[in-house]
Amino acid sequence: MELLKVENLSKVYGMGDSQVNALSDVSFSMNKGEFASVVGQSGSGKSTLLHCIGGLDTPTRGKVFLDGEDLFALDEKKRTIFRRRNIGFVFQAFHLIDELNVEQNIAFPLLLDHQKPDQKKIDGLLEMLGLTERRNHLPDQLSGGQKQRVAIGRALIMQPVLILADEPTGNLDSKSSRDVMDLLIHASRHYQQTILMITHNDNLASDTDRILRVTDGCLKDMGGKAHETLS
């Protein structure tokens, strides 16, 4: 089942001599439950692609359909609401709210959506993330790996149709990187969670179902191993 469809996506920065084509006619699609990675050199346009798919940035041309909804046909307010309900973000720098503890950080997107946090669901998530013991800790009291696990929990709590992860292991040591990767794979396989992840690490990319390479704004589908559950 096709969940994400990107059609002729282009992004141009600047004008005239200083014009930069960050993305050129990028088209691809992803099925539900698929875990794809985007690789490429610095400045190749990976992050721009992720931001456009996530609705954080507006493309110059092209369309993004998520679960059949044309993301950029929505006005700013509706897009924001659609984004918070359907897309989860995981960032390299975690971006947790320092004043909130682990549990509150995870529940925060629900509160933004005026939903009452389901304690059972949060407990289950904390257990899956291995953070039950640390639920009352503030981000300052956590290691990098733990912080990223909280960020993943925060992305999962809304049960979004798509998780976009921008180098989630970029700030972590190899052990923590492995843990985070396992967690994402676990989410993909057990919850049928569609994930699009940017990474520099070829080893981590090889663990995903599919690899997309971006070079000078152009995307090439490198294929990948078949999805174990789906295949």
Partner 1 sequence: MKHYLDLIPLSQKVHRKQSRMVRLCIILSVFLVTAIFGMADMEIRCQKAQAEINYGKWHAGLQSMSDEETLLISARPKVLACTRYDTLNYRLSMHYQVEGREAVIIGFDESALDIFPTARLVEGIFPSEEGTAAVDQGTKERLSLSLGDQISLAAPDGSQRFYRISGFFGQLPMLARHDVCGLALSTEEFRRLSLEGSEDNHDSYLYVAFSPWCRIQKEIREIQEQFQIPDERINRNELLLATIGQSRDLSMMAIYLVALILAFLVAAAGILMISGSMGSNIAQRTEFFGMLRCLGASPDQVIRFVRREALCWCRSSVPVGALLGTVVVWVLSAMLRFLSPAYFGEMPYFGISLIGIAAGSVIGVITVFLAAGSPARKAAGVSPLTAVSGNASGLKQPARRFSGKLPFAGLRIAPPRIETVLGIHHALGSKKNFLLMSCSFALSIILFLTFSVTIDFMKHAVKPLDPSTPDLSIISPGNTCSLDRDLAERLTNLEGVKKVYGRSFAYDVSLQGAALSQKACLISYEANQFAWAEDSLIRGSLSETINGEGILSVYQGDSSLSAGDEVTLDTGTGERQFTVSGVLSSCPFQAENAQELLICSEETFRDLTGENDYTIIDIQLDRTAGDHVVSEIRGMGGENVSFSDRRLNNDEVRGAIWSFQFFVYGFLGVIALICVFHIMNSIAMSVSAHLRQYGAMRAVGMDSRQVLEMVAVEALAYGFCGILTGCAAGLPLNYFCFEKLITLRWGTQWYFPVAPLCVIFTAVLVSMLLAVCGPARRIRAMSVVDTISGR
At residue 128, φ and ψ (nearest 5 deg) are -65, -35
Nearest distance in Å: CB 231, partner 1? 33
84 vs 178, beta carbon nearer partner 1:
84
Instruction: For the CB of residue 89, give the shortest distance to partner 1 in the complex, in Å.
Output: 6
**At its nearest, how many Å lie between partner 1 and the CB of residue 230?**
29
Question: In the block, which residue shows the tokens 């993909």?
Answer: 188
The smaller minimum CB distance to partner 1, of residues 73 and 97, is found at: 97
CB of 227 to partner 1, least distance (A): 28
**Among residues 45 and 224, whose Cβ is nearest to partner 1?**
45
Least distance to partner 1 from the beta carbon of 199, Å? 16
Q: Which is nearer to partner 1, 109 or 217 (CB)?
A: 109
Contact 101, 138 (CB under 8 A): yes
| Integer Cα distance of 163 and 18 in angstroms | 33
Q: How far is the CB of 224 from partner 1 (least distance, A)?
A: 26
SS3 10: strand
Interface residues toward partner 1, by CB under 8 A: 47, 51, 56-57, 76-77, 80-81, 83-85, 89, 91, 93, 95, 97-100, 104, 107-109, 111-113, 116, 154, 158, 166
For residue 201, CA distances in Å to 17, 188, 197 come to 34, 19, 11
Give Cα 123 distance to the centre of its chain.
22
**Closer Cβ to partner 1, 139 or 224, answer by number:** 139
Using only the alpha carbons of the chain, give its radius of gyration: 17
CB-wise, 20 or 93, nearer to partner 1?
93
Query: Sign of the CA dihedral 182, 183, 189, 193?
Result: negative
Among residues 221, 192, 195, the alpha carbon closest in space to that of 207 is found at: 195
Cα dihedral value 137, 139, 140, 142, nearest 10: 70
